[in-house]
Amino acid sequence: MPSLPTLADRAATAAHADGLGPALGWTALAVVAVLAFMTVVGLLLIWVERKVAARFQCRLGPTRVGRFGLLQTVADALKLLLKEDIVPTGADRVLHLIAPLLSFLAMLLMLVALPLAPGLHVVDVDIGVVYLSACSGLGVIGILVGGWSSHNKWSLLGAMRAGAQVISYEVSAALALLVAVVFSGSLRLSEIVQSQADGWWIWRAPGCGVVGFLLLLVAGTAEINRTPFDLAEGESELTAGFHTEYSGLRFAFFFLSEFLNLFVLAALATTLYLGGWMPLHLPGLAGFNAAMDFVPPLAWFGVKAAAVVFVLMWFRWTFPRLRVDQLMRLEWQILLPIGFVNLFLAAGVVVGGFYPGAG
């Protein structure tokens, strides 16, 4: 399935061919699309989280505000907007203000690089995977700044933990990402998706695919501070960790970036291992493949990302949280060696061509 030009590409060609006006038009469309997407997906994900959590816990979740409680998040967002904006005495006001924005910025930078469907791609960064890794590192600055600027020992504890955690797990996450890069031969996300036209890397890469996918899920969960790795905000321990002192709109930014990070992780795992927007093609079954092509690529992407999101929520509502030293040990003594071995194996498989459709 061919991929269509990204919105950034359209803006660029418009700037060359049709002049500034259409270029600005495409840019504006991209901005509006991203903002709308962010809002809708964010609100939807929060609703899904609450409903899924409730069902795991033998209860109903929000049911009253809107049909099936769909407007509950809207009501909560409205409530947060109307709250008093409290900055603690002694807090660094400037840093206190920009910390949630830094988290938000990091998430936004990642969001624009994700290929959702052939034309629904804002920017196709040529070093896509490295770019995404870098942006997730930017997110940790938001946490650290938030914890520091709150003038609160509990927040500082949470921030320090989170900082150590995120930068550690980035290594494992990068190793997992690199396996898919090694197989598809490109860092560019659109090319990675295209390379899965004959089969998704999770099974086409024998063994390495599954291990890489699981590694990405685990390391990614730690990157986005979700249970079992949520000691940064460990509700039962630190009240709310690094965002204890945030209320109102600023808390809303942290909260929204957390949920959209969830989406970004799911999208990343989908793009690299589950074929992105590629439909399911089995080699040799032409009729089946044609039938699969009827489903729009965005729907494929949506279903896969939703499955990954569900698994991550499943993790959150089943497992207790790890202690900080156990978390570090898990990364440096268990996941890192596994990641390295997996990467070397993947390299060996690629060089030797031991996977279907090689060469």
Partner 1 sequence: MDDPNHNGEVRSPAALDPAPCAGGGGRPESDRGAALGPPRPADSAADQAARSPTAEACADPPQRGPRSGDAEMPQSRRMGGPVEAAAPWIDGVGPIGAMVEGARSLARGMAVTLSHLARPSQVVTQEYPENRATLRLPPRFRGQLAFVHDPRGLHKCTVCRICEEMCPNVSIIITARDRPAVSKKELDTFVWRLDSCTWCNTCVMVCPHAVLEFRPTFETAVYDRRLLAYALNRTAGPTWPVIDKLESAEAQAAATEPRAPFDGPTLLARARAKPGDGEEGGDGG
Partner 2 sequence: MTAPALPATTTLRARLSASGGARSDLATQEYFVNMGPQHPSTHGVLRLVLRMDGETVREVVPVPGYIHRGIEKMAEHGSWRQFVHLVDRMDYLSALANNWAVTRAIEGAAQIETNARIETIRTLVCELQRVQSHLLWWGVFGMDLGAFTPFFYGFRDRELFTDILERTIGGRLTMNYIQPGGVMYDLDADFQRDVHAAVAALRPRLHEFETLLSDNVIVQKRLRGVGVLPAERAVALGATGPVLRGSGVPLDLRHSAPYGRYGDVVFDVPVGTRGDCWDRYQVRIDEMRQSLLIIDQLVDDIPAGKTFLVKPAAKIKVPAGLYAAEVETARGILGVVVVSNGKDVPYRIHCRTPNFNNLWTVTATAPGSRIADLVAILSSLDLVIPDIDR
Q: Does 55 bind partner 1 (CB under 8 A)?
A: yes
- State the burial class of residue 64 (Cβ atoms within 10 Å of its Cβ: 0-12, 13-18, 19+): exposed
Closer residue to partner 2 (CB): 22 or 88: 88
* Candidate segments 49-57, 141-149, 198-206, 291-299, binder of partner 1 by CB under 8 A: 49-57
Query: Residue 348 corresponds to which amino acid?
Result: G
The pair of three-digit structure tokens given for residue 191, joined into one six-digit string: 């090319």
The tokens of 181 are what? 């890069």
Backbone angles phi, psi at 268, to 5 degrees: -65, -45
Q: Which amino acid is at 68?
A: F
- Beta carbon nearer to partner 1, 187 or 330: 330
* Stretch of residues binding partner 1 (CB under 8 A), selected from 41-49, 54-62, 99-107, 279-287: 54-62
Residue 69: both structure tokens together: 């409680």
> Given candidates 24, 28, 56, 323, which one binds partner 1 under the rule CB under 8 A?
56
Tell me if 132 sits within 8 A of 185, measured CB to CB: no
Q: Which one of partner 2, partner 1, none interacts with residue 230, CB within 5 to 8 A by kind?
A: partner 2
Q: Are 120 and 296 in contact (CB under 8 A)?
A: no
Joined tokens for residue 43: 């609100």
Q: Does 60 bind partner 1 (CB under 8 A)?
A: yes
- Which residues bind to partner 2, rule: CB under 8 A? 53, 56-59, 153-154, 157, 161, 227-228, 230-231, 234-239, 317-326
Q: Is 318 in the site for partner 1 (CB under 8 A)?
A: yes
Q: How far apart are CB 325 and partner 2 at their closest, in Å?
A: 7
Exactly one of 68, 131, 317, 332 binds partner 1 (CB under 8 A); that residue is 317
User: Rounded to 5, what percent of the chain is helix, strand, coil?
Assistant: 70, 0, 30
Nearer to partner 2, 286 or 318 (CB): 318
52: partner contacted, choices partner 1, partner 2, none (Cβ within 5-8 A by kind) = partner 1
Nearer to partner 2, 319 or 340 (CB): 319
Peptide bond between residue 228 and the one before it cis (omega within 30 degrees of 0): yes
Measure the CA–CA gap between 105 and 201, rounded to whole angstroms: 30
Q: Which residues bind partner 1 (CB under 8 A)?
A: 52, 55-60, 63, 314-315, 317-319, 334
